[in-house]
Amino acid sequence: MLRPFYITTAIDYANGSPHLGHAYEKVLTDVISRHLRMSGRQVHFLTGLDEHGQKVQQTALKRDLEPQVLVDEVAAVFQRMLVDLDISHDDYIRTTEPRHQKVVQQFLQKLFDQGLIYKGQKTDWYSTRQEQFLTERDRSPDGSWPEIYGEVTQTTEENYYFKLSQFQPWLIEHLRAHPDFITPRFRQNQVLEFLKDPLNDLCISRPKTRLTWGIALPFDDAYVTYVWFDALTNYYSAVAAKGLWPADVHVIGKDILSPPHAVYWPCMLKALGLEPPRQLLVHGWWTVNNQKASKSAGNAADTLGFVASHGADAFRYYLCREMVVGQDADFSKTTFENRYKADLGNNLGNLVNRLLNMVGRNYAGAIPAAAADEELERNLRQLWQDTVRKYDAAFAEYQLSHALESLWVFISAMNAYIEARAPWKLAKSTDLADRARLDSCLAHVAEGLRLVGTILTPVMPATCGRLLTHIGRPVPAGFEGQLVWSAACTGSKVAENCILFPQIGVPGETPAG
Ligand code: MSP
Indicate the pLDDT class of residue 496, thresholds 50, 70 and 90.
Answer: very high
Q: Give the mean pLDDT of 332-349.
A: 97
Q: How far is the CA of 22 from the centre of ligand 1 (A)?
A: 6
Cα gap 431→439, rounded to integer Å = 13
Let me know: does 323 contact 284? Beta carbons within 8 Å: yes
343 Cβ closer than 6 Å to some ligand 1 atom: no
CA nearest ligand 1 atom 29, residue: 21
User: Any residues with CB less than 8 A from the CB of 169 and at least 6 apart, and which?
Assistant: none
Beta bridge partners of 331: 288
Q: What is the pLDDT of residue 50?
A: 98
Statement: residue 49 has pLDDT above 80: yes
Ligand 1 atom with least separation from CA of 22: 15
Ligand 1 closest atom vs CA 253 = 19
Instruction: Please work out whether the CB of residue 295 comes within 6 Å of at least one atom of ligand 1.
Output: no
Residue 281 clears pLDDT 90, i.e. is over it: yes
Q: Measured in angstroms, how far is the CA atom of residue 165 from the centroid of ligand 1?
A: 26
Span from the CA of 259 to the centroid of ligand 1 (angstroms): 14
* pTM recorded for the entire structure: 0.94
- How do strand 286-288 and strand 291-292 relate by DSSP bridges? antiparallel
**Spatial distance between the Cα atoms of 322 and 20, rounded to a whole number of angstroms:** 13
Closest listed residue to residue 271, CA positions, set 193, 182, 204, 196 = 204
Is 10 a pocket residue for ligand 1 (Cβ < 6 Å)? yes
The pLDDT of residue 506 is above 90: no
Mean pLDDT calculated for residue range 66-95: 98
User: Hey, whose CA ends up nearest to atom 23 of ligand 1?
Assistant: 21
pLDDT at 259 over 80: yes
Ligand 1 atom closest to Cα of residue 251: 17
DSSP characters over 455-513 = HTTTTSHHHHHHHHHHTT----SS-TTTSS--STTTTPBPPS---SS---S-TTSPP--
Q: Which CATH architecture has domain 5-283?
A: 3-Layer(aba) Sandwich (3.40)
Nearest protein CA to atom 10 of ligand 1, as residue = 12
Average pLDDT over residues 338-349: 98
Q: Residues of the chain with pLDDT > 90: what percent?
A: 89
CA dihedral over 204, 230, 26, 303, signed as positive or negative: negative
Work out the pLDDT band at 1, boundaries 50, 70, 90: confident
Q: Whose CA is nearest to atom 24 of ligand 1?
A: 21
The domain locations on the chain are 5-283, 332-513
- Residue range 159-212, pLDDT digits in tens: 999 999 999 999 999 999 999 999 999 999 999 999 999 999 999 999 998 899
Q: In what order do the strands lie in the sheet with 205-207?
A: 205-207, 220-225, 216-217
Give φ, ψ of 38 to 5 degrees: -70, -20
Alpha carbon 18 to chain centroid, angstroms: 14
Contact 55, 13 (CB under 8 A): yes
pLDDT of residue 341: 97
Distance separating alpha carbons of residues 420 and 405, to the nearest angstrom: 22
Round to whole Å and give the CA distance between 441 and 55: 61
pLDDT band at 509 (very low <50, low <70, confident <90, very high): very low
Q: What would be the CATH architecture of the domain defined by 332-513?
A: Orthogonal Bundle (1.10)
Mind listing the pLDDT tens digit for each residue in 305-322?
Answer: 999 999 999 999 999 999
Model confidence at 123, pLDDT cuts 50, 70, 90, reads confident
Q: Is the CB of 12 under 6 A from ligand 1?
A: yes
- C-beta of 25 in contact with ligand 1 (< 6 A): yes
pLDDT, one tens digit per residue, over 386-411 is 999 999 999 999 999 999 999 999 99
Query: Which residue from 17, 22, 148, 263 has its CB within 8 A of the most atoms of ligand 1, so it is best to mutate?
Result: 22
pLDDT band at 131 (very low <50, low <70, confident <90, very high): confident
Buried b (16+ CB within 10 A) or exposed e, 230-249: bbbbbbbbbbeeeebeebbb
What span, in angstroms and rounded, lies between the C-alpha atoms of 84 and 79?
9
CB of 11 closer than 6 A to ligand 1? Answer: yes
CB of 254 closer than 8 Å to CB of 262? no
Q: How many whole angstroms separate alpha carbon 387 and alpha carbon 45?
A: 28
> What pLDDT does residue 168 have?
98
For the Cβ of 439 lying below 6 angstroms from any atom of ligand 1, the answer is no
Instruction: Classify residue 156 by its DSSP letter.
Output: E
> Which one of 12, 27, 56, 94 would you pick to mutate in the ligand 1 pocket, going by the greatest count of ligand atoms within 8 A of its CB?
12
Look over the chain and give the mean of its residue pLDDT values, rounded to a whole number: 95
What's the 49 CA to ligand 1 centre distance in angstroms? Answer: 11
252 close to ligand 1 (CB < 6 Angstrom): yes
